[in-house]
Amino acid sequence: MSEWWTYTLSDIQSFSLQTWYRLFERYNAAIWPAQIVALALGIWIGSGLHLPHRGSGLHPWRGRVITAILAASWLWIAIAFHVTRYAKLSWVAMYFAWGFGLEALLLIWSGVIRGRLTFERRPDAIGRAGLSIYLFALLVQPVLGQLLGREWRQIEVFGVAPDPTAVGTLGILLLATGHTRWELIAVPAIWCAISGATLAAMNAPAPWMVSAAAALVVILAAWRTLATSRTSGTSTNG
């Protein structure tokens, strides 16, 4: 596209908010009752992250299962949402599908195959924020849409809809043990930025919500990275 820098998102935003909402309405009807399964798995993940446990971190198998569920969600959305439905409105959706597929592969490689993704109930601010962001994506974000004027049939559910899945994944990743998982944070954070901009271009209510959640995660993750490096620096020097 020539002079691409002169284009704003509203210049290339090719469908209306009404069409976007209808997309979810028809998607929900087509995949029913997958939403119930996704919600149940989401609650299971939440309880696993929240419940008291022994030792440091959850059991490794639980980390594998949580990661496998997340990967399955990202892959499902890549195919069932982006390729099968969203791509009929916008050619860009095919690139989104590749992004979601990449995130699924990264989760499988890191968490399922190598088993290096475990989660812990962290008592600090980052841990509380991570769990809160996850619960927000699972329980609050879908309902907020209805409060802002969407019909309940157009609901976006964690595990099958891109926005709550991306936000929820970011929340969970804040609870990952060890170093900050930037390689896993990148795709959902980018998606949240794109989604927020898309919603803003369509004059959707509260378009900043998804982007703000992602920005919060990135800030907290950066804070955690800095804190970790300082701690390791102190211990090395000491």
Task: Name the amino acid, one letter, at 145.
Answer: G
Q: Closest distance between another protein and the C-beta of residue 142, in Å?
A: 22
Shorter beta-carbon distance to another protein: residue 23 or 144 = 23
Shorter beta-carbon distance to another protein: residue 124 or 151 = 151
Shorter beta-carbon distance to another protein: residue 11 or 183 = 11
- As given in the structure block, the two tokens for residue 100 are 């979601």
Shorter beta-carbon distance to another protein: residue 28 or 67 = 28
Q: Which residues in 64-102 are b (16+ Cβ under 10 Å) and which e? A: bbbbebbbbbbbbbbebbbbebbbeebebbeebbebbbe
With contact defined as beta carbons under 8 Å apart, do 140 and 148 qualify?
A: no
Is residue 53 a contact residue for another protein (CB under 8 A)?
no
Q: Closest distance between another protein and the C-beta of residue 147, in Å?
A: 24
Shorter beta-carbon distance to another protein: residue 90 or 132 = 90
Q: What is the DSSP letter of 154?
A: G
Distance of CA 47 to the CA centre of its chain: 18
Q: Closest distance between another protein and the C-beta of residue 184, in Å?
A: 31
Task: Name the amino acid, one letter, at 8.
Answer: T
Stretch that binds another protein, among 16-24, 58-66, 143-151, 218-226 (CB under 8 A): 16-24
Q: Closest distance between another protein and the C-beta of residue 82, in Å?
A: 13
Is residue 43 a contact residue for another protein (CB under 8 A)?
no
| Near another protein by CB under 8 A: residue from 9, 11, 205, 231 | 11
Size of the site for another protein (CB under 8 A): 20
Shorter beta-carbon distance to another protein: residue 87 or 212 = 87
The DSSP bridge partners found for residue 176 are 119
Residues 63-122 close enough to bind another protein by CB under 8 A: 85, 88-91
Of 67, 88, 121, which Cα lies nearest the Cα of 14? 88
Long-range Cβ contact pairs of 40-45 (< 8 A, separation 24 or more): 41/69, 41/159, 42/138, 42/158, 42/159, 42/168, 43/138, 45/69, 45/70, 45/134, 45/172
- As given in the structure block, the two tokens for residue 156 are 């976006």
The DSSP bridge partners found for residue 119 are 176
Give the residues lining the site for another protein (CB under 8 A): 1-3, 6, 10-11, 13-16, 18-19, 22-23, 26, 85, 88-91
